[in-house]
Amino acid sequence: MGSIARIEVKDGNPVAALQNFCARLLADSEITAVLAPRQLPGNRGAMPALVAAPEQLHDIDPLAPSFRLNAARMLTRLTRGADDGGLVAALLRPCEVRAFIELCKLNQGSLENTLLVSLDCPGAFSNTDYPRFAANSGDTWSLVQFLGTSGRGTHGGIEIARACCTCEHTTGAEADLSIGLFGQDVEKGLLLMANTPRGEGFMTRLGLPEATDDGSRDKALEALLAERRAAQELMFAETTAATSDMTGLSQFLSACVNCYNCRAACPVCYCKECVFLTDVFEHKPWQYLSWARQRGALKMPTDTVFFHLTRLAHMSTACVGCGQCSNACPNGVPVMELFKTIAAATQKAFEYEAGRDPGEAPPLSVFREREFPELTGGLD
């Protein structure tokens, strides 16, 4: 880690402090616009917004425990093939940073055209639960109380999404700048840490007061990660047991209606044309009837399990576990649990972690000698 500075918080309002921080970024000659979560009308949560005018920063809220969209794919649209018009400063959750890095490896975006700023992530409520949080206790005081739990996100009896409860990537160390919340009195100040030479440059130009890390953040993170990893292992065990054979997998996915919302919401599912949106699976009437006669009964639609198996084959090496697949499901199918369980095993097998390192080549894109010796017999 490089330099550490302090973002001062006035009147106990960390959201206002981050709005001011974004205004200072926007005042820098290198920054063209800021991409950050912006509150929707009517307490419906936050969505990414591209802000180019300082006066429009008044309703951005990077701390809102609302996660309606993983902004990584939005950022690829702003950076891929961009000219020299300046940088986009993007305030992202750690899973968004890792998804964006993964997309850049797949030539979908460019790290050269953005300043990545990540915040310690306390988690977010599901799309259906956030309005309850906002309606009952969505004021600044309640947000401060929520942040004060250091990632143990239960507030007013509402728990953060399971993807967040089982996430071990709670900091954005891969970003140019990281904003530290854990272990801090967020009513008084936040930490700002530089992780890259670009981050160091902006840290110097921002002119924020220097700060020292007294260890409180690391201590809070250590305790949180122990809880998150235990919850993750439990989820892996439950999901593996429930999907250990085709019967179990079919039951696990039985409520799927092939709406493909999970595909649309996945930040690293970037194919321009998906085979499931073609006529490949538009079967003839006689085929359905024949299958029904053979089996006695035929679940409709017929290709739900195959759809998810295909996505798993495509995406398990790139999945960052953000949970947007489950967040987008209208029928409550636990898609995240399945994808995260399989992705963890796949990435472990390849000794790879999606979004960990921009210079690390994705699996299957490079040849390695003596890979998987348990299958090849260790042949030279």
pLDDT digits (tens, 9 = 90+) for 273-286: 777 777 777 788 88
Q: Is the pTM of this model over 0.85?
A: yes
Name the packing angle between helices 14-26 and 140-147 (round to 10°).
90
pLDDT at 271: 78
- Label residues 313-330 b or e (16+ Cβ within 10 Å = b): ebbbbbbbbbbbbbbbbe
Q: Model confidence over 50-97: pLDDT tens digits?
A: 999 999 999 999 998 999 999 999 999 999 876 767 899 999 999 999
Per-residue pLDDT at 303: 83
Q: Is the four-CA dihedral 250, 253, 256, 262 of positive or negative sign? A: negative
Closest by CA position to 178, among listed 115, 222, 228, 224: 115
**CA–CA distance, 249 with 95 (Å, rounded to integer):** 27
DSSP for 245-312, please give it.
SHHHHHHHTTT-----HHHHH-TT---SS-GGGSGGG---HHHHHHHHHHHS---SSS-HHHHHHHHH
256: its two tokens = 């799927």
Strand partners, 159: 154
Tell me the three state secondary structure of residue 233: helix
Beta bridge partners of 60: 38
Cα distance between residue 47 and residue 36, in whole Å: 8
- In the structure encoding, which two tokens stand for residue 155, read together? 């507030």
Q: What DSSP letter does each residue of 168-193 carry, written as one string?
A: ---S-TTSSEEEE-TTS-TTTEEEEE
Nearest-CA neighbor of 379 among 133, 130, 370? 370
Q: Is there a contact between 302 and 284 (Cβ–Cβ < 8 Å)?
A: no
Distance in angstroms (rounded) separating the CA atoms of residues 218 and 115? 24
Look at strands 154-155 and 158-159 and give their pairing.
antiparallel
- How many Å apart are CA 131 and CA 134, to the nearest integer? 5
* Per-residue pLDDT of the chain in tens (380 residues, 90 and over written 9): 578 999 999 998 999 999 999 999 999 999 999 999 998 887 788 899 999 999 999 999 999 899 999 999 999 999 987 676 789 999 999 999 999 999 999 889 999 999 999 999 989 999 888 888 877 655 666 777 777 665 566 666 788 899 999 999 999 889 999 999 998 889 999 999 999 999 999 999 999 999 887 889 999 899 999 999 999 999 999 999 999 999 999 999 999 999 999 999 999 988 777 777 777 777 888 888 888 888 888 787 888 898 999 999 888 999 999 999 999 999 999 999 999 999 999 999 999 999 999 888 888 777 776 666 766 665 55
Cis peptide before 209 (omega within 30 of 0): no
